[in-house]
């Protein structure tokens, strides 16, 4: 037994520091007495830890209002300016750098076009230069950054190796190592599952649910949240339903297989299909400005308008995609047993209502014991910044679980 060794009491102290920081993050501001109750420590231990955190500049102190006669209690909160966090989102056509304060509030957001060269070395170079410039613009040094997180669509090991990112066409890219060479603060690589953290932050009641988050954007995949945590699986490849093969003779997928769901309904796959169909003679308003769109997302933006204008091709395509999403959602619901299904990603959000209806229509025939369950199917609500905000939340969560 080592319970009384100095190392153990030191790590217990760090654990209590992190718990206090996590409680202040969750509750905003608390008195020392409230902190003692929430963390389960005595007042002298709390005083020692609070003094240590104050010395590090992590806490602010204000005088609260006393309900009784006597001294006003000291109210503690996190110091937003004590350090910053960096989130980096990598997409096939652009990257985004987000700078956040210690409370996770956005300070700056930089959009970086990536161009057609997706070589990992080139992408890392472009991102590194932009991040150095951003930090300089904000007069921040490496010592002011608590940590940085990078996320992209794909499977990522806990050591930051991107095993496979089909939208980027990457296989076995040591992204964490490539980025860490340029910075002295900690850099972590996540899959874009962390987007769901922003969704939960936007509706804290979701924290108690079992969530199936179906993302249909540049990639297609499911994120699972249960028992208060994201589920990554044994090898970080949990929920890769975008690579279920639905047509073995179908289009080639970025993963190397043919006919994956992703190769049919991802944004790039749909943009390519529309272009192909028009070149083969399809009559549709989506032919307007055929080549004038820099990204699949912008290319598809005209689609709901064409459906509303009764464009037969646009309606047929929406219904085809709705059927595929409904079939996949039914299989995923049978597999993962969620209480909430969130339709996320720019393709899902073009027709979230129609896709939710399609899932409902398929449910009786395709979902086990559907009538006895009350599955809440809803569109994602965390907005365009969900991924970058989710990365910041993941960095913060990791930092609060690490040593200081
Ligand atoms: Zn695939």
Q: How far is the CA of 71 from the centre of ligand 1 (A)?
A: 64
| Cβ proximity of 250 and 259 under 8 Å | yes
363 and 218: one domain? yes
What pLDDT score was predicted for residue 158? 87
Q: Structural domain of residue 68, as residue ranges?
A: 6-78
For residues 81 and 66, the answer to whether their CB atoms sit within 8 Å is no
User: Looking at the structure, do residues 217 and 338 belong to the same domain, yes or no?
Assistant: yes
Yes or no: say if 302 and 285 are a contact pair by the CB < 8 Å rule: yes
Q: Which residues, given as ranges, of the chain have pLDDT below 50?
A: 1-7, 404
Please tell me the distance from the alpha carbon of residue 51 to that of residue 183, in angstroms, as a whole number.
30
Within-domain flag for 1: no
d(CA 95, ligand 1 centre) in Å: 23
Is residue 138 domain-shared with residue 285, that is, in the same domain? no
Same domain, 103 and 127: yes
Question: What is the C-alpha separation between 153 and 253, in angstroms, rounded?
Answer: 14
Tens-digit pLDDT profile for residues 33-89: 899 998 888 889 888 989 988 888 889 988 776 666 777 788 999 998 889 999 999
The pLDDT value given to residue 5: 45
pLDDT, tens only, 97-150: 999 999 889 999 999 999 888 999 999 999 999 999 999 999 999 999 999 999
CA 16–ligand 1 middle distance (angstroms):
44
Return the CA Rg of the chain.
Answer: 24
Same domain membership, residue 254 and residue 185: no
Q: Which residues are placed with Cβ below 5 angstroms of ligand 1, an ion?
A: 243, 253, 255, 257, 260
**Enclosing H/E stretch for 196:** helix 195-202
Kindly give the distance from the C-alpha atom of residue 199 to the centroid of ligand 1, in angstroms, as a whole number.
26
Question: What is the predicted pLDDT for the residue at 403?
Answer: 56
pLDDT at 17: 86
Q: 315 and 234 in one domain?
A: yes
Count how many domains the chain has. Answer: 3
Q: Are residues 13 and 61 in the same domain?
A: yes
At residue 285, the pLDDT reads 92
Where are the extended beta strands (E) located within 329-375? 340-344
3-state secondary structure of 337: coil
Q: What pLDDT, on a 0 to 100 scale, did the predictor assign at position 1?
A: 38
162-165 and 94-101 strand pairing: unpaired
> Could you tell me if 108 and 24 lie in one domain?
no
Structural tokens at position 268:
């790039």
Residue 4's pLDDT is 44
CATH code, domain carrying 51: 1.10.10.10
Tokens of 259: 């006919």
Count Cα atoms within 13 angstroms, Cβ side, for 399: 25
CA of 164 to the centre of ligand 1 (A): 10
In a domain, 306, yes or no: yes
Q: What's the 320 CA to ligand 1 centre distance in angstroms?
A: 19
Determine the distance separating the centroid of ligand 1 and the alpha carbon of 165, expressed in angstroms: 10
Alpha carbon distance 250, 157 (integer Å): 29
Ligand 1 centroid – CA 241 distance (Å): 9
In this predicted structure, what is the pLDDT of residue 9? Answer: 66
Q: For residue 43, is it within any domain?
A: yes
Q: Are residues 370 and 318 in the same domain?
A: yes
Which residue, of 78, 102, 123, is where some domain finishes? 78
Same domain for 271 and 347?
yes
User: Could you tell me if 192 and 211 lie in one domain?
Assistant: no
Distance 39 CA to ligand 1 centre (A): 46
* CA–CA separation, 383 and 202 (whole Å): 10
Report how far ligand 1's centroid is from the alpha carbon of 353 (Å): 26
Residue by residue, DSSP assigns 261-301 as: HHHHHSHHHHHHHHHHHHHTT---GGGTTTT--SSHHHHHT
Give, as one character, the DSSP assignment of residue 143: G
Evaluate whether residue 354 is within a structural domain: yes
- Is residue 249 in some structural domain? yes
339: domain CATH number is: 3.30.420.40
191 lies in the same domain as 246 = no
Percent of the chain at pLDDT exceeding 90: 64
């Amino acid at each position: 037994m080592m319970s009384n060794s100095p190392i153990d009491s030191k790590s217990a102290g760090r654990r209590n520091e992190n718990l206090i920081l996590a409680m202040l993050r969750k509750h905003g501001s608390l008195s020392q007495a409230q902190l003692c109750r929430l963390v389960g420590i005595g007042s002298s231990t709390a005083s020692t830890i609070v003094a240590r955190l104050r010395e590090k500049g992590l806490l602010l102190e204000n005088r609260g209002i006393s309900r009784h006669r006597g001294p006003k209690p000291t109210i503690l909160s996190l110091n937003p300016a004590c350090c910053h966090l960096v989130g980096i989102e990598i997409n096939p056509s652009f990257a985004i750098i987000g700078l956040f304060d210690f409370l996770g509030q956005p300070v700056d957001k930089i959009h970086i076009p990536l161009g057609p060269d997706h070589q990992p070395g080139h992408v890392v170079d472009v991102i590194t230069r932009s991040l150095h410039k951003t930090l300089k613009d904000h007069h921040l040094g490496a010592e002011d950054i608590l940590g940085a997180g990078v996320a992209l669509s794909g499977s990522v090991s806990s050591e930051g190796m991107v095993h496979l990112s089909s939208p980027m066409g990457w296989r076995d890219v040591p992204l964490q190592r490539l980025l860490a060479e340029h910075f002295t603060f900690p850099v972590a690589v996540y899959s874009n599952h962390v987007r769901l953290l922003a969704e939960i932050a936007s509706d804290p009641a979701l924290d108690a649910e079992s969530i199936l988050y179906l993302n249909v954007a540049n990639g297609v995949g499911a994120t699972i949240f249960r028992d208060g945590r994201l589920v990554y699986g044994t090898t970080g490849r949990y929920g890769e339903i975008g690579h279920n093969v639905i047509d073995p003779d179908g289009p080639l997928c970025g993963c190397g297989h043919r006919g994956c769901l992703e190769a049919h309904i991802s944004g790039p796959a749909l943009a390519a299909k529309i272009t192909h169909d028009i070149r083969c003679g399809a009559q549709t308003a989506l032919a307007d400005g055929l080549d004038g769109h820099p990204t699949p997302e912008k290319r598809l933006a005209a689609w709901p308008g064409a459906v509303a204008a009764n464009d037969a091709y646009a309606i047929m395509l929406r219904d085809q995609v709705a059927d595929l999403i409904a079939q996949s959602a039914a299989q995923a619901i049978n597999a993962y047993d969620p209480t909430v299904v969130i339709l996320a990603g720019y393709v899902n959000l073009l027709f979230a209502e129609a896709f939710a209806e399609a899932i409902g229509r398929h449910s009786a025939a395709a979902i086990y014991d559907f009538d006895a369950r009350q599955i809440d199917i809803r569109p994602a609500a965390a907005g365009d910044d969900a991924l970058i905000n989710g990365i910041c939340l993941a960095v913060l969560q990791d930092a609060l679980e690490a040593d200081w």
